[in-house]
Amino acid sequence: MRSTRVTLPRDWTLGLFGRIPARMRTPLGIICLTAAALLFPLVNGSDADIDSAANALAFAALALGLNIVVGFAGLLDLGYAAFFAIGAYAYGVASSWQVQPEWSSFWEPFRWLDLVARYHQAGGDVVHFQVSFWLMLPIAAAIAAFFGVLFGAPTLRLKGDYLAIVTLGFGEIVPIVARNTPSITNGAMGLNGVAAPQLFGYDFGVNATPYYYVGVALVAFLILTSQRLKDSRIGRAWMAIREDEIAAATMGVDRVRFKLLAFAIGAAFAGATGTFYVAKLQTATPEMFMFPVSVMVLVMIVFGGIGSVWGVVVGALLLQILQSWFLEDLSEWLHAFGRLVHIDWLQRVQLASSIELIFGLILVLMMLYRREGLIPATRRVSGLSLEEQTAEIGRGGFDGLTAMAAWDRADSGPLLEISGLTVRFGGLVALRSVELSIPARAVVAVIGPNGSGKSTLFNAVTGLVPADGAEIRFAGHDIARLRPHEVLERGIARTFQNIRLFPNLTVVENIMIGMHARLAAGPVGALLRLPANRREEAAARERALEILSLFGNRLLPRADHLAGSLSYANRRRAEIARALASQPRLLLLDEPTAGMNPAETRELADQIQSLNRHGLTILLIEHKLDVVAMLANTVIVLDHGEKIAEGPPEVVRRAEEVIRAYLGRSAALASV
C-alpha cells in the first residue's frame, strides 16, 4: 500500500530546530541574526539596497523609542517625530555651515576641544561648528530627552486621547518652527552641508555601507536597552502605569517621575536616531519630520506588536522593506502584467507612492482584527497540571511569614490617627469630620450601608482623595498631604473593592510591583545590570514567589499567568499578596472576602488573622459581620459619611443607631 503521506521539506527543518535545547535557542537565534546583519552588505553589493537597509534600521530605532512611550508606559504620543527632528537639527546645526556666530574669546575653549573652528571671512572671523558625530549622538539624545520632559510635563494629568492631541500639537509645532526660522535651519530649503561622520580619519562620505553598520550597532544597542529596561523595576513601573495608573500609584510608583522618564528615554532614542539619519542624508528639511512620520512609526509598532521589543523591530523592518523593495518589484510586475493585458492604468501605477494608503489600511485592519500585533508582547503560558488546578481549602492562616519585614512588636501608641476628616465631592459631603484612632497591631473593621463613605475613607488615607484640612498621622508623622506613592513608602498598603490588579502582567510581575518602593534600581542600574542590580532582582523575584506560596497552590502554579486570567477569588488573593509585598505596617483591605464562598471566606479570614498575629495592623471594610466579629478588636460604623458608633463587635452589632442605619428609619407612617 502506497503511503499517501507526503513529507514536506519543512518537517525536516522543524526537526532540526526541535533538536536544539530550549536554553540555547535564544542565544543561537541572536548569533544567527547578528551574523546575517553583519554579512548583508557583503552579500548584497548594491549601494541602493544597503542604503534602504540603513533607512530601515533608522526607523527600527524610532520604533523602539516610541515603543517605550506607547508600548511600555501606555502614553499615546502622536508627535514623536518632533524628537527625531530635534536630534536631526541639533547635529545639523552643530556640524554644518548654517549657523556662524561672530568669533569672540568665548569660543576659545571650544576650539581647544576641537568642537569649533575659526574661519576668516571678509566681514570678520566667524565660528564654524564641527562637533564630531560620535560626540553628538549622546548630546542630541540628551537634548531630545530634555524636550521630551518639556513636552511631556503638560500631559501628565490628561487622559489618553487628550494626551495624544497635545503631543500631536507639539509634534506639529516643531517642524513648523524649523521651517519658519531659516536663520538656524535654512527653513524649507533644508540644512545643507552637514558633515559626514569620521572614524579614525576615515570619512564616511556618501557610501551607504559604513552608515549601515552604524545603524546596526545603534539598533542593537537600543534593543538591548529596551529589553533591559523592560525586564527591570523601571519597565514594571511603566507597565503598571499603563495598566492602571491609580493602582500603580498606591503601590508606590511615582507616576510623575516615571512618565517623564518614559518621555525622556523615548525622546532620547529618537534624538540619537535623528543625528544618525541626518548624518547619512547630509541634509535636513522640515518635511522629513511632519505628522506622517509620526504616524508611520505608530503604524510600525502597531503592526509589529505594541510593547514587544522584537515585535516593533520586525514591524519597522518589514514595513520599510515593503516600501523600498517589495512595492517597487510589485509595481514592475503590475507594469508587465498591464502590458500583457493592455490595461494602460496598470502600466503606470506606482505602488511605492501609495505606501501611506497601505499604512492606513494596515493600521485600521490591525486595530480591528489583531490589536496585539504580529508578535504580541504577552507570552503564552503552559497549562496547569490537575494537581495544580485543584486547591484545598486550608485553615489556620499563614505560616512561614519570615519574609515579611519587621513589624510592630511593641504596643507603641496609636499607629494611625485621623481627626477632622471631611471630604467633599462637589456639593456632596462624603465624609464629615471623621475621627479615628487605630492602635498598633489592632484589627479595626469599618462597616456601614452603601454610600456611607467607607471606601472614601480609604481613599483619603492613601492620598487618592484630598482631605480638607484634616490631620492624618501615621506613626506620628503627618501624611495628610502626601501623594499616594509616598503613603505606600511610609508603610500603608491597600486593596480595592473592585480589585485593581494589572491584568496584562503576570501574577509575579504584579507582586513585584508591590515591591517597587522597596527596591532601588534606577534606569542606569537597570541598563548596566550590575551585579548588585542582578542580586536585587533575583532576591525580589524569590520573595515574590515566597509571598505567592503563602496562598498554597492557588497562586504559585499561576505565577507566570496573566493576572487577568485568574478566577475572581484568586485575583483577590493576588491583590492582597501584592499589598503584602510592599512590607506594610498598616494594611487596608477593602471588602477582601467579597464574592467568596463561605469556605474561602473562612480561609481568608484565618489568613488575615495570622497576618495580624505576626504584627500587621489591619483596617478592614467588610460586610460579612461574622468575619468582622471573628477578626476585629474594634468596629467603626459609618453612615452617610459620619461615624455613628465605635466599639467591640458584639456591642456595635446590637446598637440602636447601627440597626437603624442599616435597616432605615421607620418613620411615623400611617399604617396600611
Partner 1 sequence: MPVFRTVYRRPRESGGPGQTVAGSATLDSRLRGSESATGSALLEFRAVDTYYGDLHVLKSVDYRIAAGEIVCLLGGNASGKSTTMKAIMGSVVPRRGDIIYEGHSLGGVSTAERVRRGIAPVLEARRLFPRMTVWENLEMGAYTRRRGPEFDEDLARVFVLFPRVEERLHQLAGTLSGGEQQMVAIGRALMARPKLLCMDEPSMGLSPAYVEQVFDIIRTINRQGVTIFMVEQNANMALQVADRAYVLQTGQVVLSGAAAELRETELIRHAYLGELKLA
Partner 2 sequence: MMSDYGVLLQQVVNGLSLGAMYALLALGFTLVYGIIELINFAHFNVFMISSFVGMWALELLGISGQSRVLTGLALAGALVFAFAVTMLAAGVLGVAIERLSLRPLRGVPGTAAMITTIGVSYILFNIILLTVGAGSENYPNPLPVVRWQFGEVMLELKQLLIWGVALALMVALHVFVSRTRLGKAMRATAQDAEAARMMGVDVDRVIVTAFFLGSALAGAAALIFGLYYNYTSFIIGYTAGLRAFTAAVLGGIGSIPGAMVGGLLIGLIETLGGQLIAVRWTDVIIFSILVLVLVFVPTGLFGRATPTKS
Give the residue, chosen from 121, 180, 412, 433, that forms a contact with partner 2 under the rule CB under 8 A: 180
Q: Which three cell numbers stand for residue 312?
A: 516593533
Residue 221 interacts with which of partner 1, partner 2, none, CB < 5 to 8 Å by class: none
Residue 449 interacts with which of partner 2, partner 1, none, CB < 5 to 8 Å by class: partner 1
Give the three-class secondary structure for 43.
Answer: helix
Give the residue, chosen from 97, 110, 169, 483, that forms a contact with partner 2 under the rule CB under 8 A: 169
CB nearer partner 1, residue 17 or residue 568? 568
Residues 570-599 that bind partner 1 (CB under 8 A): 591, 594-595, 598-599
Query: Which class for 129: exposed (0-12), middle (13-18), buried (19 or more C-beta within 10 A)?
Result: buried
Residue 659 interacts with which of partner 1, partner 2, none, CB < 5 to 8 Å by class: partner 1
Give the residue, chosen from 108, 356, 468, 478, that forms a contact with partner 2 under the rule CB under 8 A: 356
Q: Is 655 in the site for partner 1 (CB under 8 A)?
A: no
Stretch near partner 1 under the rule CB under 8 A, chosen from 75-83, 195-203, 361-369, 446-454 = 446-454
Give the residue, chosen from 142, 158, 545, 594, that forms a contact with partner 2 under the rule CB under 8 A: 158
In whole angstroms, what is the distance from residue 503 CA to residue 592 CA?
18
**583 φ/ψ sector (left φ>0, alpha ψ -120 to 50, else beta):** left
In whole angstroms, what is the distance from residue 378 CA to residue 560 CA?
11
C-beta separation of 96 from 191 below 8 A: yes
Q: Is 354 in the site for partner 2 (CB under 8 A)?
A: yes
Q: Is 672 in the site for partner 1 (CB under 8 A)?
A: yes
Return the number of other C-beta atoms located less than 10 Å from residue 6's C-beta.
6
Residue 496 interacts with which of partner 1, partner 2, none, CB < 5 to 8 Å by class: none
Q: Is 647 in the site for partner 1 (CB under 8 A)?
A: no
Q: At what angle do helices 160-180 and 81-95 cross, to 10 degrees?
A: 30
Q: Is 162 in the site for partner 2 (CB under 8 A)?
A: yes
Query: In sequence order, what are the residues at sequence separation of 6 or more whose Cβ sits closer than 8 angstroms to the Cβ of residue 189?
Result: 182, 285
Query: Which class for 142: exposed (0-12), middle (13-18), buried (19 or more C-beta within 10 A)?
Result: middle
Stretch near partner 1 under the rule CB under 8 A, chosen from 329-337, 373-381, 431-439, 447-455 = 447-455
Q: Which three cell numbers stand for residue 84?
A: 527625531
C-beta separation of 423 from 430 below 8 A: yes
Give the residue, chosen from 57, 68, 270, 295, that forms a contact with partner 2 under the rule CB under 8 A: 295
Give the residue, chosen from 29, 160, 205, 564, that forms a contact with partner 2 under the rule CB under 8 A: 160
Stretch near partner 1 under the rule CB under 8 A, chosen from 25-33, 182-190, 244-252, 657-665 = 657-665
Return the number of other C-beta atoms located less than 10 Å from residue 408's C-beta.
18
Strand boundaries in 312-427, DSSP class E: 414-425
Residues 598-627 that bind partner 1 (CB under 8 A): 598-599, 601-602, 623-627
Return the number of other C-beta atoms located less than 10 Å from residue 540's C-beta.
21
In whole angstroms, what is the distance from residue 293 CA to residue 289 CA?
6
Q: Is 403 in the site for partner 2 (CB under 8 A)?
A: no
How many residues can be counted in the chain?
A: 672
Q: Is 433 in the site for partner 2 (CB under 8 A)?
A: no
Identity of residue 3:
S
In whole angstroms, what is the distance from residue 17 CA to residue 25 CA?
9
Q: Is 450 in the site for partner 1 (CB under 8 A)?
A: yes
Give the three-class secondary structure for 431.
Answer: strand
CB nearer partner 1, residue 386 or residue 667? 667
CB nearer partner 2, residue 112 or residue 369? 369
> Which residues are at the interface with partner 2 (CB under 8 A)?
76, 78, 154-155, 158-162, 164-166, 169-170, 172-173, 176-177, 179-180, 246, 295, 298-299, 302, 353-354, 356-357, 359-364, 367-368, 371
> Which residues are at the interface with partner 1 (CB under 8 A)?
449-451, 567-568, 591, 594-595, 598-599, 601-602, 623-627, 653, 659, 662-667, 669, 671-672
